[in-house]
């Protein structure tokens, strides 16, 4: 793949909750030379999702013949796509990603890397031997507030960076009670493996990926009668008596090898107000607070409100002056990504395929995140005893 005019054939494996946004994103890159030539989902009913995505993009729906694959192995062997988005349940990431890399495809892999650390390592090994682009769908590392924080870090605004906090808290945000998300053998865990990759990706990315020295964590699964859980993420729609053996909330404390302390709180269900994802960078010279709030609790990034405030204090006239500078990217519609952050990552994947450069967030970063998740769960099993990495 060389010149920017070359057509890049794209495909999506699994177009359920999130895969449909990948399909939208690849279709939106038509004028940049991307052609969606194949999709794969084991559920034939999902073809209706593909049809509606094509219709909303104003494009003719392709014939199922030659475009739709119900069997992943068949898709990998015969579709001939150059790049594939893998949007499958976590336990299927390893078989899909390893086979795609081994087949010579470029891969955009949804977070987390996989349901287990061993599976994540197998994916990273396949990525390394393939020489292909292996991008991570860590969409929050591509937002305007991430870029702002990165610029502030690079310009030394914080002085000595001391502590970083990340939180993603929902009141009623268990995704599909009784479905694969809540079954540990399939997902690998609850919010610790679902929400925490975004928090770790953001915080570690801003700090240029320091390594953790040790990790201490606790998980919480106690559900009081009538307490939050079911909700707009579809909780009530699946079998409420189905298996749910993952945590509802995780709390992590880690000491990083750059001298910074990191705190994480990720909850699918806790007593709180609206769904919020936030970050705080505390330094000797300044503190930055970044937050994304979903005002109607629907999880749609396009409707979320992003803010960032920088707190500094300077001496003027012999007195300390506190200055709070606010940044609101929502006032600039050009910074918004209509497809839940996929357009930016997919444009980057395309550029990486054409130029040979490594994406900002790659499979290597997903493995680093998985190592922390794994350590956090091991620590939680030992009642919070620190795990050294």
Ligand X SMILES: NC(=O)c1ccc[n+]([C@@H]2O[C@H](COP(=O)([O-])OP(=O)(O)OC[C@H]3O[C@@H](n4cnc5c(N)ncnc54)[C@H](O)[C@@H]3O)[C@@H](O)[C@H]2O)c1
Q: How far is the CB of 19 from ligand X (least distance, A)?
A: 5
Instruction: Considering the complex, state which of residue 171 and residue 292 has its C-beta at the smaller distance from ligand X.
Output: 292
Q: How far apart are CA 321 and CA 386, in angstroms?
A: 40
One residue of 8, 10, 14, 379 binding ligand X per CB under 6 A: 14
Please tell me whether residue 46 binds ligand X under the rule CB under 6 A: yes
Q: How far apart are CA 139 and CA 355, in angstroms?
A: 21
Instruction: Considering the complex, state which of residue 27 and residue 282 has its C-beta at the smaller distance from ligand X.
Output: 27
Ordered DSSP codes for 80-124: --SEEEE-S-GGGHHHHHHHHHHTT-EEEEESSS-SSHHHHHHHH
Instruction: Considering the complex, state which of residue 14 and residue 283 has its C-beta at the smaller distance from ligand X.
Output: 14
Residues from 322 through 381 that contact ligand X (CB under 6 A): none
Contact range with ligand X by CB under 6 A, out of 42-50, 225-233, 370-378, 381-389: 42-50
Spell out the SS3 assignment of 7-53: CEEEEEECCCCCHHHHHHHHHHCHHHCEEEEEEECCCHHHHHHHHHH
Q: CB under 8 Å to 234, separation ≥6 — which residues?
A: 175, 176, 177
CB-hemisphere CA count at 13 Å for 166? 24
Q: How far is the CB of 137 from ligand X (least distance, A)?
A: 5
Residue whose CB is nearest to ligand X in the complex, by number: 16
CB-hemisphere CA count at 13 Å for 89? 17
Contact range with ligand X by CB under 6 A, out of 14-22, 31-39, 53-61, 279-287: 14-22
Contact range with ligand X by CB under 6 A, out of 15-23, 203-211, 271-279, 328-336: 15-23
Contact range with ligand X by CB under 6 A, out of 83-91, 209-217, 274-282, 315-323: 83-91
Residues from 136 through 155 that contact ligand X (CB under 6 A): 137, 139
Please tell me whether residue 90 binds ligand X under the rule CB under 6 A: yes
Q: How far is the CB of 381 from ligand X (least distance, A)?
A: 22
Q: In what order do the strands lie in the sheet with 319-327?
A: 319-327, 305-316, 286-294, 275-283, 161-169, 261-267, 249-256, 212-220, 387-388
Residue window 167-196: x/- pattern of binding to ligand X, with contact defined by CB under 6 A:
---------------------------x--
Please tell me whether residue 213 binds ligand X under the rule CB under 6 A: no
Contact range with ligand X by CB under 6 A, out of 81-89, 117-125, 303-311, 317-325: 81-89
User: Residue 6 — φ and ψ, nearest 5°?
Assistant: -60, 140
One residue of 41, 82, 306, 348 binding ligand X per CB under 6 A: 41
Instruction: Considering the complex, state which of residue 110 and residue 348 has its C-beta at the smaller distance from ligand X.
Output: 110
Contact range with ligand X by CB under 6 A, out of 84-92, 237-245, 314-322, 325-333: 84-92
One residue of 24, 25, 36, 111 binding ligand X per CB under 6 A: 111
Instruction: Considering the complex, state which of residue 86 and residue 133 has its C-beta at the smaller distance from ligand X.
Output: 86
Please tell me whether residue 25 binds ligand X under the rule CB under 6 A: no
Q: How far apart are CA 329 and CA 144, in angstroms?
A: 7
Q: How far apart are CA 126 and CA 342, in angstroms?
A: 24
H runs (alpha helix) in the chain: 19-28, 47-56, 72-78, 93-102, 117-130, 144-154, 184-187, 191-194, 196-206, 342-355, 363-381
Please tell me whether residue 232 binds ligand X under the rule CB under 6 A: no
- Site size toward ligand X (CB under 6 A) is 23
Q: How far is the CB of 174 from ligand X (least distance, A)?
A: 13
Q: CB under 8 Å to 286, separation ≥6 — which residues?
A: 152, 157, 158, 159, 310, 311, 312
State the residues that interact with ligand X by CB under 6 A: 13-19, 40-43, 46, 72, 87-90, 92, 110-111, 137, 139, 194
């Amino acid at each position: 793949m060389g010149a920017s005019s070359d057509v890049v054939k794209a495909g999506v494996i699994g177009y359920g909750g999130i895969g449909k946004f990948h399909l939208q994103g690849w279709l939106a890159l038509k004028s940049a030379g991307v052609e969606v030539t194949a999709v794969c989902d084991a559920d034939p009913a999902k073809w209706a999702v593909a049809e509606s995505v094509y219709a909303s993009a104003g494009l003719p729906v392709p014939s199922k013949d030659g475009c739709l694959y119900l069997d992943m192995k068949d898709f990998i062997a015969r579709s001939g796509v150059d790049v594939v988005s893998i949007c499958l349940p976590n336990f299927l990431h390893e078989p899909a990603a390893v086979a795609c890399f081994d087949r010579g495809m470029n891969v955009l892999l949804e977070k987390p890397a996989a349901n287990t650390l061993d599976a994540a390592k197998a994916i990273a090994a396949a990525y390394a031997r393939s020489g292909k682009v292996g991008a991570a769908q860590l969409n929050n590392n591509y937002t305007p507030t991430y870029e702002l924080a990165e610029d502030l870090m690079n310009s030394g605004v914080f002085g000595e960076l001391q502590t970083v906090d990340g939180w993603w808290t929902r009141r009623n945000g268990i995704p599909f009670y009784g479905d694969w998300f809540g079954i540990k053998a399939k997902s690998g865990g609850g919010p610790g493996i679902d929400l925490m990759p975004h928090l770790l990706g953001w915080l570690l990315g801003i700090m240029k990926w320091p390594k953790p020295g040790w990790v201490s964590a606790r998980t919480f699964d106690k559900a009081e009668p009538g307490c939050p859980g079911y909700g707009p993420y579809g909780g009530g729609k699946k079998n409420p008596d189905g298996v749910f053996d993952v945590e509802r909330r995780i709390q992590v404390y880690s000491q990083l090898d750059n001298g910074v302390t990191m705190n994480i709180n990720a909850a699918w269900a806790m007593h709180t107000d609206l769904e919020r994802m936030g970050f705080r960078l505390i330094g000797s010279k300044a503190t930055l607070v970044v937050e994304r709030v979903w005002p109607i609790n629907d999880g749609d990034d396009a409707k979320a409100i992003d803010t960032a405030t920088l707190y500094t204090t300077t001496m003027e006239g012999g007195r300390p002056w506190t200055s709070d500078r606010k940044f609101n990217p929502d006032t600039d519609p050009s910074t918004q990504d209509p497809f839940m952050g996929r357009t930016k990552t997919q444009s980057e994947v395309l550029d990486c395929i054409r130029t040979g450069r490594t994406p900002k967030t790659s499979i290597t970063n997903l493995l680093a995140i998985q190592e922390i998740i794994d350590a956090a769960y091991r620590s939680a099993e030992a009642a919070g005893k620190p795990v050294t990495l």
